[in-house]
C-alpha cells in the first residue's frame, strides 16, 4: 500500500510528459502554419503512441486550441510580472506593448503561434486582449486616454501589434526595439496622449526581458 502513491505519481508524471509533448508538437505545427496535419503526424512529432492522444484530447481542434491557450498563458505570466512594477495604467499599456513586440526576437516560434491564429486571438478570454482592455479602460478612467469604445480600442491596438509582429517576422534584420517603441508612440497618440508624454513613455528604460 505504501508504494501506491509512488506509482500514482509516476503515472501522473508520465501523463504530464505526454500531454506536454503533444502540446509542443501542436505549437510547432501552428508556428509553421500547418494546422491541416493529421493526428498521426502530431503523435509522430511528439514521439508518443497514437492511442495516447485520446487520453488527453478529444480532437485535434481541442489540442490546437489548448496549444494557443498555453502560449497566451506564458505571455500573460511574463507580462503580469513586469507590469506589477508600475501604477500608471497608461504606462502599463505602453510597457506591455513595447515588450510584447520585442518578444518576436526572443521567442519567434511562440509569436508565430499567435500570428497564425489570426485576429481571432483578440477575441479570446485569456492573454493579450483582456489585459489590454483592462489597461485601456483604467487609463480612460484616470484621464490618461480619451474615451473610446473599449472593444474597438482593443481591436485597434491588437491589430497594430499583430501587424508589427508580422513585420518583424518578415524582416529579421529590423530593429525590433525601435519599431516597437515607434508603434507604441502612435498608439498612445491615437488614444489622445500629447506628443511629449507619448515620447516620454516610449523612451524610458524597460525592465529586463524575462527568460521564457
Which of 82, 101, 84 shows the shortest CA–CA distance to 184?
101
CATH for 4-57?
A: 1.10.10
CATH 1.10.357.10 maps onto the chain at 64-201
CATH architecture of 64-201: Orthogonal Bundle (1.10)
Q: Inter-axis angle of helices 108-115 and 60-83, to 10 degrees?
A: 120
* pTM, rounded to two decimals: 0.86
Which of 207, 92, 115, 97 shows the shortest CA–CA distance to 170?
115
pLDDT digits (tens, 9 = 90+) for 13-58: 888 999 999 999 999 999 999 989 999 999 999 999 998 899 999 9
Continuous segment of H or E residues that includes residue 28:
helix 4-31
CATH 1.10.10 maps onto the chain at 4-57
How many C-beta neighbours within 10 Å does residue 91 have?
A: 20
Amino acid at each position: 500500500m505504501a508504494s501506491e502513491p509512488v506509482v500514482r505519481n509516476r503515472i501522473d508524471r508520465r501523463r504530464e510528459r505526454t500531454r506536454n509533448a503533444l502540446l509542443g508538437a501542436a505549437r510547432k505545427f501552428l508556428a509553421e502554419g500547418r494546422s491541416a496535419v493529421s493526428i498521426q503526424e502530431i503523435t509522430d512529432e511528439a514521439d508518443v503512441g497514437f492511442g495516447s492522444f485520446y487520453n488527453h484530447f478529444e480532437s485535434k481542434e481541442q489540442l490546437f486550441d489548448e496549444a494557443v491557450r498555453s502560449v497566451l498563458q506564458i505571455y500573460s505570466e511574463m507580462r503580469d510580472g513586469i507590469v506589477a512594477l508600475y501604477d500608471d495604467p497608461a504606462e502599463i499599456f505602453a510597457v506591455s506593448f513595447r515588450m510584447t513586440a520585442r518578444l518576436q526576437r526572443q521567442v519567434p516560434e511562440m509569436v508565430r503561434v499567435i500570428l497564425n491564429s489570426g485576429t481571432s486571438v483578440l477575441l479570446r478570454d485569456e492573454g493579450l486582449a483582456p489585459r489590454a482592455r483592462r489597461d485601456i479602460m483604467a487609463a480612460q478612467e484616470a484621464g490618461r486616454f480619451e474615451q473610446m469604445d473599449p472593444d474597438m480600442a482593443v481591436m485597434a491596438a491588437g491589430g497594430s501589434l499583430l501587424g508589427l509582429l508580422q513585420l518583424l517576422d518578415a524582416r529579421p534584420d529590423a530593429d525590433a526595439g525601435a519599431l516597437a517603441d515607434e508603434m507604441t508612440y502612435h498608439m498612445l497618440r491615437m488614444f489622445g496622449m500629447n506628443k511629449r508624454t507619448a515620447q516620454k513613455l516610449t523612451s524610458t528604460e524597460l525592465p529586463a526581458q524575462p527568460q521564457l
